[in-house]
Copies of this chain bind each other. A is one copy, B any other.
Amino acid sequence: MFIQLNKKFKSKKLNVCVIGLGYVGLPLAEAFSKYFQVVGFDISKKRVEQLRKNYDSNQIKNKNKKFQKNLFFTKNLKDISHCDIFIITVPTPVNKKNQPDLFFLNHAINNLIKVNLKNKFIILESTIFPTLSNEYIKKIENKTNLRMNEDFCFGYSPERINPGDNIKTLKTIDKIVSCPSVRGLKFLNIFYKKIVNKIHTCSVLAEAEMAKIIENTQRDINISFINEISIVCDKLNLNFPSVLKLASTKWNFLKFTPGLVGGHCISVDPYYLTYILKKNKYNPRVILSGRQVNENYPKYIYKIIKKRITKKIKNVLIAGLAYKENCNDIRNSKSINLGKIFKNRGYNVNFFDPHVQLKKINNIPVVKSLKNNFYDVIVICVRHSIFFDSSNKYKFCKIAKSNSLIYDVKRGMFC
């Protein structure tokens, strides 16, 4: 199969399919479409229709740029059956019990099993727990009677897309590719080299799966540590920003800031790892303690604000719903949790995030403009650039009442 694939690669006749057209899949499809015919596949009719009209609701694509002509979007399986490479970039979220929800991934694999996979290369980019790629290989072998490395190939290449970052782009972020087949790995290397500057190869799928998960888990733990320190400073009546600033004067202090850890990666990946570890009868203490502190951080923020409230007040503004600055991704947003906490305690809550197009979330209105002299409490969860005026001050200060409580989550302080 590799002779044929390499031939097609060299003659640029390779047909590439990207399954899942979100934050990861769309930029990937765009990048490969500069070199090959690419079919972008998504199960959402709405998403496919919008992309066909050159509209990306995720706001990742440049608004004025049109997609390459050899990038075609579809939701029909028959449009992808001719493809040689299938890159899976579907979401891998957790369910309500914080266990891996593999619905989208299973759906994608089951769809591929329906396609004739003879001589095809499947590349998984979604974050998964270690050993899962091998399970899918076995599944495909069982259902199709095709043999891995002979009839079809399977590789894992974890995505490292950093939405909203114009410096660390798909091209400049080092990429890991892994495949147990020597020829498969060689192919992945030349294939991704088209769109990424630097590739690192690995012959063990589970090692690449693990590497991806620990990158995000390390970040989760470091934020949880800073969050815990902010809680601890409050307990001891110490000024947290001042403590953090002092510690930061040590050459090797890691300058993390406190925050509401949400999004589709950092707040999810540690649970994927935990899931497979618990199945192997291991309880990862450090990893889980980090999760626990970060999961409970909205409650802590509610508590410290509540402590400052001296009279009966009503109106609360939660500003910044996205999981990080200058993006519109509200998956697992802990700002939304914070809003719910206030709402459940009888406050009148407004959400505010100009990046987010929704009108209501959990029955809380997402307001488009802010009322003057109205909010008793303003919580700024994320530092979107549009929140600052030209002199780098929060615009919220202007619309606040003289006695409004304004809490800046990322600095861990009232301002």
Docked pose: A216 CA to B276 CA in angstroms: 31
- CB pair A207 B246 closer than 8 Å: yes
Q: For the complex, would chain A's binding face be called helix, strand, loop or mixed by DSSP majority? A: helix
- CB pair A285 B228 closer than 8 Å: yes
- CB-nearest residue of chain B relative to A231? B282
Docked pose: A214 CA to B246 CA in angstroms: 10
- CB pair B160 A250 closer than 8 Å: yes
- Is A202 interfacial (CB 8 A cutoff)? yes
- CB pair B289 A286 closer than 8 Å: yes
Contacts of A131 in B (CB 8 A): 236
Contact of A215 (CB < 8 Å), options: B238, B253, B286: B253
Contacts of A246 in B (CB 8 A): 176, 200, 202, 207-208, 211
Contacts of A198 in B (CB 8 A): 249
Count of identical protomers in the assembly: 2
Contacts of A293 in B (CB 8 A): 285-286
- Is A224 interfacial (CB 8 A cutoff)? yes
- CB pair B174 A249 closer than 8 Å: yes
Q: A225-B221, A293-B285 are in contact. Are A242 and B204 (CB under 8 A)?
A: yes
Contact of A218 (CB < 8 Å), options: B206, B225, B249, B251: B225
- CB pair B228 A284 closer than 8 Å: yes
- A205 CB → nearest B CB, Å: 10
Q: A131-B236, A247-B215 are in contact. Are A207 and B174 (CB under 8 A)?
A: no
A223-265 residues with Cβ-Cβ distance < 8 A to B are 224-225, 228-229, 231-233, 235-236, 238-239, 242-244, 246-247, 249-254
- CB pair B273 A174 closer than 8 Å: no
- CB pair B286 A251 closer than 8 Å: no
- Is A370 interfacial (CB 8 A cutoff)? no
- A132 CB → nearest B CB, Å: 11
- CB pair A173 B224 closer than 8 Å: no
Contacts of A173 in B (CB 8 A): 250-251
- Is A210 interfacial (CB 8 A cutoff)? yes
- CB pair A232 B176 closer than 8 Å: no
- Is A66 interfacial (CB 8 A cutoff)? no
- CB pair B221 A286 closer than 8 Å: yes
- Is A113 interfacial (CB 8 A cutoff)? no
- Is A290 interfacial (CB 8 A cutoff)? yes
- CB pair B287 A236 closer than 8 Å: no
Interface CB pairs A-B, < 8 A, 8: A130-B236, A131-B236, A176-B246, A198-B249, A207-B243, A210-B233, A212-B247, A286-B289
Contacts A174-B250, A221-B222 supplied; 10 other A-B pairs, CB < 8 Å: A131-B236, A204-B242, A206-B238, A210-B233, A218-B254, A228-B284, A228-B286, A235-B282, A236-B276, A288-B289
Enumerate the 5 nearest inter-chain pairs by beta-carbon distance, A residue then B residue, closest first.
A211-B246, A289-B289, A285-B289, A211-B247, A174-B249
